[in-house]
A = this chain, B = another copy of it.
Amino acid sequence: MRDLGARVGMKAQSLYSYVASKHEIYDAMFEQGYRELADWMSAGGAATDARSDAHRFFAFCVSDPVRFQLLFLRTLPGFEPSPSSYALAVDVLETMTARLATVGVRKARHVDLWTAVMTGLASQQIANDPGGARWERIVDDAVDMLLAHTGSPQRSRPTTGRSPR
């Protein structure tokens, strides 16, 4: 609270004129994070290319490790999003599920697999090669693998000429 106050030119105590508690701030950040995700993904245009979508999501994750931790790792001690914030998160994730359906991913288990793979790539990048690109470089690889396994047959191997190995 002191750090935050300093950042906005206030004493920590003055922040309590605006929010009731520290967790209320976490909750607002959680909600804002998911709104940013929705904006970020829709800014990429219609979901037609699985690779570019994956790169957009990956970039969103690694561009703000703290936000990534808040939205996807949920490791903040004692924090749980409020029902309304959680509902927003579910809503945004459903929109992303719809984008996946566009490239032929329709089964719930396959959507779960996509989220696990993409967040896994991002978390390893953040944890083990911050500032680098070691896991970013295999995003394309991962997308091809996922599409081959989960996508509709006709879109599972787009002819981009960049297939790995």
Contact = CB atoms under 8 A, between A and B. Distances in A.
A128 B81 CA distance: 12
A112 B127 contact: no
A58 to B, nearest CB: 11
Interface string A130-141: 000011011001
Which of the four size classes fits the interface of chain A? 20 to 34
Interface stretch (A9-17, A40-48, A142-150): A142-150
B127 A73 contact: yes
* Tally of this chain's copies: 2
Nearest to A129: B112
Contacts of A74: 127-128
Contacts of A150: 145
A121 interface: yes
Contacts of A142: 113, 116-117
A74 B124 CA distance: 10
Interface in A98-137: 107, 109, 112-113, 115-121, 123-124, 127-128, 134-135, 137
Contacts of A137: 109
The 8 closest A-B pairs by CB, nearest first: A120-B120, A145-B149, A116-B120, A74-B127, A116-B121, A116-B124, A109-B138, A119-B120
Interface of A: 69, 72-75, 107, 109, 112-113, 115-121, 123-124, 127-128, 134-135, 137-138, 141-142, 144-146, 148-150, 164-165
